[in-house]
Structure 1
């Protein structure tokens, strides 16, 4: 929990508001569409904050401490903080902070979820939901949130207009006095209670190199005016979803230009999806199959040292492939894949950084991926804005003792006695971790099963060296 002290304390106060009126139907959308993507804890936090709003109001009118929120939800502060981050990332919460002397106050504004129509038409959320739930459950949810459309083609439209029904009185009756002007004036400090608009996940514009993208496009084929803010946002989102680099995106956009010389978003989605299926032979994209983006790699020169070669490997292999390599070539379990895709989606860590995280955690947790341990370190790296493999390695070495203490805390809570026969051997440490750990004791007790897995890992790294 120590990693949160600079950002959030139990004594910090907060108040809650909502961006427009939240309706009971929103609960179904949050539970059935958002919960599979971000988990139950963030949704529980959303509902808890929502409960502080009075009926038919958009502001709570009260101030509470985070200590009270911890007691109410029976959760630790770090769990609440991580859940809050997921709500922010997926567009369900906006956060403001104000500091006065030694007191900090947070203002939490709940954002309404997207409507089912917006959610199922989103260029990214619907894809991830399908990937999480599978075709059958996805189609079932889609049917639940839709209904038969009434065909009106055979009917005559006879609705009356305003001017056909109402007539204006004498012009003098519309005279507005100064007193009336004051009465109808809208107070800038107040807002009307209504329905706010749902927000989709954002931040994709920062991950796409539009300068490189534009440099390869000829103005004779497409005008700069075609790239409106909405079009650029969709290009960045589709690029993130299908792991398309700026050079590849150039040809896909040219194939999506319509007769008006504008970028047809729906056509671009189809072109990108077809490209992905041809490239990877899969229905839907998986975050765990991505590799480090070109602009986040260390360089184009040929690696000379062993560490440089290992960095290059982590930059060019997907987390799914790296997980398979560390497992002796076996297929990773669905639980492990869900853990990896969860941190890539929620913390938005680049694939190369995730590879470093996988290596570090598996070495330190008996070749297993511990969900809570992985998410704890991933949240820390996300707040540190770690983007490259080298940055991740350096931070892992620098914060090694801190991460070790988290692991010890977890082990103490789940301490069990083992009667398995144990052996003493030299623990394998990746090359990039050796410098930081040279003063650490290298002997450790492990079971025969762990001995076998460690040998497999050593053989795998030897094969990488030969490459």
Structure 2
């Protein structure tokens, strides 16, 4: 696991800066549109940092992170994770300066998107719709919109500047150069005012346009139709709906107009329709697809041992993809996906930890994903505040007897007749860890063949009882 102390420490100093004045209306946007996506901890961090800046100013006083931890009643790891989420959604920029052993951060709060930008973003609005559902989504859209003036009912009679004001010619006009010069700010100062928010940018690290262009050469789509605006939409849609290059080619063909152009709105609609057909009318939910970087192991590759390879797999695979791998490539059932999503959101388990839980429960319940058992173990892991794959694996091994008792109690209560005893399977990492612990206390002088036989006997005895 990456040490949080390498990234941030309680004694580190910080100041809050505002990228332009934030207003009451911005608070409504963040509360009603952003909070369902980022969660209450991120919202609390943003609002706390905002309130540290005095009204009509752009900078706060200097504080340390002890103050922030005490004020929010959050540990440093949770504050750091909330900070990363705010950065990812475009509400925060972070800067750091190191002088010897002293680190100072600047947390520059960014204004939220306007409601019009948000509802036309193509990414955030889809996540919000999936999170809240149709009724509440429409309610919010109506809350942030109002009736427009009907052009046909009224005639504009607004006067222009030159209709009302006249320039006065005289000797004082010669002072205009001095006025312009005095209006310029020094390099280290800025005017206080309201700034516009930047749209969410998806870094293109997953979509290969060379493959797409190669496919388009055989199609009827001219490359000139892939404008910068369309290209940005392709990157965003490929991330949102997990569309590969060959699938995107077919979507572009469907969105092409008779004029050999691609309109972004039509492209979004076509991609959405494609996804709903492929995934039984479901829209994607805003979840962490993979284990967050802060909770991954230090190893950058798969590692050498079987355990390191497994940890790498669990950290770099989504829970949905792991279910697909377990079923040999077939799509998991809607009930299984719903169960996993409900548990992940209710217990706030990272995806890597959820992967360990899924694997453990599947083996414990004869490959049946029991939601009640999943929830019971997940709530225990949430109370233990598990964040890494390694921690989850170690706790599963340590508490296996207790979890087995929970399962037996459940089966005994539900049983109405005697059932045959099943042979319980276990994940490879569980069996290997048990064998490793037993082998570690073996006597010296034991031959490899004797050790192998003894460990095989232990494994068989474990499976039977």
Count, aligned residues:
394
TM-score (norm 1): 0.70
Q: CA deviation at 1:209?
A: 1.7
Aligned to 1:193: 192
Aligned to 1:269: 268
Aligned to 2:33: 33
Aligned to 1:337: 341
Secondary structure, aligned partner of 2:104: strand
Q: CA deviation at 1:376?
A: 6.8
Q: CA deviation at 1:166?
A: 2.3
User: Could you tell me how far apart the structure 2 residues matched to 1:289 and 1:55 are?
Assistant: 35
8 Å contact from structure 2 (residues 353, 386) kept in 1: no
Q: Does 1:431 align with 2:431?
A: no
Q: CA deviation at 1:277?
A: 2.6
Q: Does 1:52 align with 2:52?
A: yes
Q: CA deviation at 1:173?
A: 4.6
Q: CA deviation at 1:339?
A: 5.2
Deviations along 1:219-255, one digit per CA (max 9) or x if unpaired, are 9844545434433221111112222111111122233
Deviations along 1:157-185, one digit per CA (max 9) or x if unpaired, are 22222222222233765334764453122
Secondary structure, aligned partner of 2:3: helix
Q: CA deviation at 1:3?
A: 3.1
Deviates more, 1:240-249 or 1:402-411: 402-411
Q: CA deviation at 1:354?
A: 8.4
Pair 12,339 (structure 1): closer, same or farther in 2 beyond 3 Å: farther
Let me know the Cα RMSD of the aligned residues.
4.7
Aligned to 2:378: 369
Pair 182,371 (structure 1): closer, same or farther in 2 beyond 3 Å: farther
Aligned to 1:217: 216
Deviations along 1:173-228, one digit per CA (max 9) or x if unpaired, are 53347644531223221111222222444334222222212221129844545434
Aligned to 2:459: none
Secondary structure, aligned partner of 1:206: coil
Aligned to 1:10: 10
Deviations along 1:383-414, one digit per CA (max 9) or x if unpaired, are xxxxxxxxxxxxx5xxx3x5567889999xxx
User: Could you tell me how far apart the structure 2 residues matched to 1:44 and 1:122 are?
Assistant: 24
Deviations along 1:328-376, one digit per CA (max 9) or x if unpaired, are 97924857414547999x98x7xxx788455467589974335975997
Secondary structure, aligned partner of 1:140: helix
User: Could you tell me how far apart the structure 2 residues matched to 1:100 and 1:138 are?
Assistant: 48
Aligned to 2:205: 206
Aligned to 1:95: 94
Matches within 5 A, 1:153-302: 153-170=152-169, 173-176=172-175, 179-218=178-217, 221-258=220-257, 261-286=260-285
Deviations along 1:96-149, one digit per CA (max 9) or x if unpaired, are 111111111111011111111211122111111111112112222222122122
Secondary structure, aligned partner of 2:255: coil
User: Could you tell me how far apart the structure 2 residues matched to 1:167 and 1:186 are?
Assistant: 29
Pair 95,342 (structure 1): closer, same or farther in 2 beyond 3 Å: farther
Aligned to 1:414: none
User: Could you tell me how far apart the structure 2 residues matched to 1:203 and 1:343 are?
Assistant: 28
TM-score (norm 2): 0.70
Q: CA deviation at 1:440?
A: 3.4
8 Å contact from structure 1 (residues 319, 340) kept in 2: no
Secondary structure, aligned partner of 1:109: strand
Deviations along 1:63-93, one digit per CA (max 9) or x if unpaired, are 1100111111111111111111111111111
